[in-house]
């Protein structure tokens, strides 16, 4: 496949998937050349524009080529010379590498803050890519995201290296957490093996726990409990959407460590979807009928309704403390009214 074919078959559809009109030059400029000149006479393949200013530059290679940003003079040149640009992308249509200027302002970094293969996009990558879409692109947030991804990626790489071959510094740090004696050479060698074994077992245990939880949640979510008889004419209007089921499962995931998730049920209505504790006590309600404006209403211990607007279902996790607080109220034993009554007046014993 040639470079031009790669652009047409792979890269342009990717740009379109981000919400930009590849046939509108006010949004996507092919063969971009800035007004200050073109340096060596070449051009960057695409510039994505917002409010008349370039915000992302894309340098495209043919799908079989290796990606080496140090050799991409045009991408580096235009990124460094165009202050409005926040992101530089180097791609062969299959692999994508996103760069910013985190190390030095207006100078594109040598290391990408985000990279992925289009054949292997997971939920995490999908969530990050949403931030680059036309609908939500925000330069300040992109820089913050890039910084977080850069350091998160660096830490993951470091931990991955330590898992394979723990460094002496890492072994010393781990040993000091559990051993108070002198770390002689023989002791360090011993703790190197222990550190590697503990690290491996910890990850294995976490994966096992995650799989077990996922299987339990999948089994429980296979058939959401919908209780209370509903009139036939009203029942015909009720459609439990996938968003409502996904939201219901998120609530169960939040409460899984606090209560038996079998006690958390779903009851759908025409106007909203109710999430209940023991089939009768409201934890929260979903108002998801308008896809452009989703709202979750959390009922607190005093029966007060707290409304929160969300754009993505994952934002429900932001209100985990409120949701847990409501469930914990229902777990407490009821206070008997007799305990609240005033004590009887004392009667003198000498009468």
Q: How far is CA 265 from CA 255, 295, 331, 334, in A?
A: 12, 19, 15, 21
133, 153, 173: which is the final residue of a domain?
153
At 276, give phi and psi (nearest 5°).
-115, 155
Is residue 303 in a domain? yes
Q: How many CB atoms lie within 10 A of CB 81?
A: 13
pLDDT surpassing 60 at residue 192 = yes
Q: How far is CA 47 from CA 3, 22, 88, 111, 206, in A?
A: 17, 10, 9, 20, 43
* Nearest residue to 178 via CA among 168, 197, 165, 191: 191
124 and 98 assigned to the same domain? yes
Rounded (10°) CA dihedral 270, 275, 281, 284? -90
Q: How confident is the model at residue 17 (pLDDT cuts 50, 70, 90)?
A: very high
- Determine how β-strand 305-310 pairs with β-strand 294-299: antiparallel
47 and 142 assigned to the same domain? yes
DSSP-derived secondary structure for 213-269: HHHHHHHHHTS----S---HHHHTT----HHHHHHHHHHHHHHTTTS-GGGEEEEE-
Q: Which helix (H) or strand (E) holds 175?
A: helix 168-178
300 and 273 assigned to the same domain? yes
Q: How confident is the model at residue 349 (pLDDT cuts 50, 70, 90)?
A: very low
Q: How confident is the model at residue 215 (pLDDT cuts 50, 70, 90)?
A: low
Is residue 191 in a domain? yes
* Nearest residue to 78 via CA among 93, 56, 98: 56
Is residue 204 in a domain? yes
Q: How many CB atoms lie within 10 A of CB 317?
A: 11
Higher pLDDT, 68 or 211: 68
Q: How many CB atoms lie within 10 A of CB 99?
A: 24
pLDDT surpassing 90 at residue 222 = no
| pLDDT mean across residues, the chain | 83
Counting the structural domains of the chain, the total is: 3
274 and 217 assigned to the same domain? no
104 and 202 assigned to the same domain? no
User: What is the rounded distance in angstroms from the CA atom of residue 267 to the CA atom of residue 275?
Assistant: 6
The predicted structure's pLDDT at residue 90:
94
Is residue 346 in a domain? no
Residue 104 near residue 80, CB atoms below 8 Å: no
The predicted structure's pLDDT at residue 345:
52
- Minimum mean pLDDT range among 88-102, 230-244, 261-275: 230-244
196 and 282 assigned to the same domain? no
The predicted structure's pLDDT at residue 351:
40
The predicted structure's pLDDT at residue 223:
52
Is residue 343 in a domain? no
* Nearest residue to 60 via CA among 116, 24, 108, 12: 12
Is residue 275 in a domain? yes
3 state DSSP class of 313: helix
- Minimum mean pLDDT range among 97-111, 201-215, 264-278: 201-215
Higher pLDDT, 97 or 226: 97
Higher pLDDT, 164 or 286: 286
pLDDT surpassing 80 at residue 60 = yes
- Minimum mean pLDDT range among 38-42, 99-103, 127-131: 38-42
Q: How many CB atoms lie within 10 A of CB 147?
A: 13
Return the CATH number at 301.
Answer: 3.90.930
pLDDT surpassing 90 at residue 38 = no
145 and 275 assigned to the same domain? no
Is residue 227 in a domain? no
47 and 140 assigned to the same domain? yes
60 and 193 assigned to the same domain? no
Beta bridge partners, 50, equal 53
Q: How confident is the model at residue 258 (pLDDT cuts 50, 70, 90)?
A: confident
Q: Residue range 45-53: average pLDDT?
A: 92
pLDDT surpassing 60 at residue 307 = yes
User: What is the rounded distance in angstroms from the CA atom of residue 146 to the CA atom of residue 114?
Assistant: 7
Max Cα-Cα span within the chain: 113
281 and 312 assigned to the same domain? yes
Buried b (16+ CB within 10 A) or exposed e, 53-71: ebbbbbbbbebeeebebee
Is residue 337 in a domain? no
User: What is the rounded distance in angstroms from the CA atom of residue 78 to the CA atom of residue 57?
Assistant: 8
DSSP-derived secondary structure for 46-86: EEEEETTEEEEEEEE--TTSPP-GGG-HHHHHHHHH-TT--
Return the CATH number at 87.
Answer: 3.90.1570
pLDDT surpassing 60 at residue 76 = yes
pTM of the model: 0.52
Report the percentage of the chain scoring pLDDT > 90. Answer: 35
Q: How confident is the model at residue 184 (pLDDT cuts 50, 70, 90)?
A: confident
Q: Residue range 330-347: average pLDDT?
A: 58
User: What is the rounded distance in angstroms from the CA atom of residue 129 to the CA atom of residue 87?
Assistant: 12
The predicted structure's pLDDT at residue 14:
95
Q: How confident is the model at residue 338 (pLDDT cuts 50, 70, 90)?
A: low
Q: How confident is the model at residue 200 (pLDDT cuts 50, 70, 90)?
A: confident
172 and 37 assigned to the same domain? no
254 and 176 assigned to the same domain? no
Domain with 286, as residue range(s), is 232-331
- CB hemisphere CA count around 236 (13 angstroms): 2
Higher pLDDT, 320 or 213: 320
3 state DSSP class of 99: strand
């Amino acid at each position: 496949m040639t470079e031009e074919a790669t652009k047409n078959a792979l890269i342009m559809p990717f740009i379109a998937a981000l919400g930009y009109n590849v046939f509108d030059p006010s949004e996507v400029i092919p063969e971009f050349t800035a007004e200050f000149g073109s340096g060596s006479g070449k051009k960057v393949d695409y510039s994505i524009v917002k409010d008349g200013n370039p915000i992302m530059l894309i340098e495209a290679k043919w799908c079989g080529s290796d990606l080496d940003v140090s050799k991409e003079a045009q991408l580096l040149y235009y990124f460094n010379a165009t202050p409005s640009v926040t992101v530089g992308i180097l791609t062969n249509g299959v692999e994508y590498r996103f760069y910013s200027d985190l190390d030095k302002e207006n100078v594109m970094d040598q290391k990408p803050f985000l990279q992925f293969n289009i054949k292997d996009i997971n939920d995490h990558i999908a969530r990050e890519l949403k931030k680059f879409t036309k609908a939500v692109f925000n330069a300040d947030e992109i820089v913050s995201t890039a910084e977080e991804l850069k350091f998160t990626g660096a830490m993951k790489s470091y931990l991955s290296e330590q898992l394979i071959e723990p460094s002496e510094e890492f072994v010393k740090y781990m040993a000091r957490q559990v051993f108070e004696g002198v770390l002689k050479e023989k002791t360090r060698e011993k703790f190197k093996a222990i550190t590697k074994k503990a690290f491996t077992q910890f990850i294995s245990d976490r994966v096992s726990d995650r799989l077990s939880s996922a299987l339990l949640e999948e089994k429980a979510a296979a058939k959401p409990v919908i209780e209370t008889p509903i009139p036939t004419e009203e029942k015909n209007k009720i459609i439990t959407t996938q968003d409502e089921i996904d939201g219901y499962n998120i609530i169960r995931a939040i409460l899984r460590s606090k209560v038996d998730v079998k006690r958390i049920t779903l009851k759908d209505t025409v106007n909203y979807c109710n999430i209940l504790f023991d089939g009768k006590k409201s934890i929260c309600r979903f108002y998801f009928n308008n896809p452009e404006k989703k709202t979750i209403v959390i009922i607190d211990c005093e029966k007060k309704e707290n409304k929160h607007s969300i754009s993505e279902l994952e934002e429900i996790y932001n209100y985990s403390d409120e949701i847990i607080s409501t469930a914990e109220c229902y777990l407490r034993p009821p206070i008997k009214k007799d305990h609240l009554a005033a004590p009887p007046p004392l009667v003198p014993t000498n009468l």
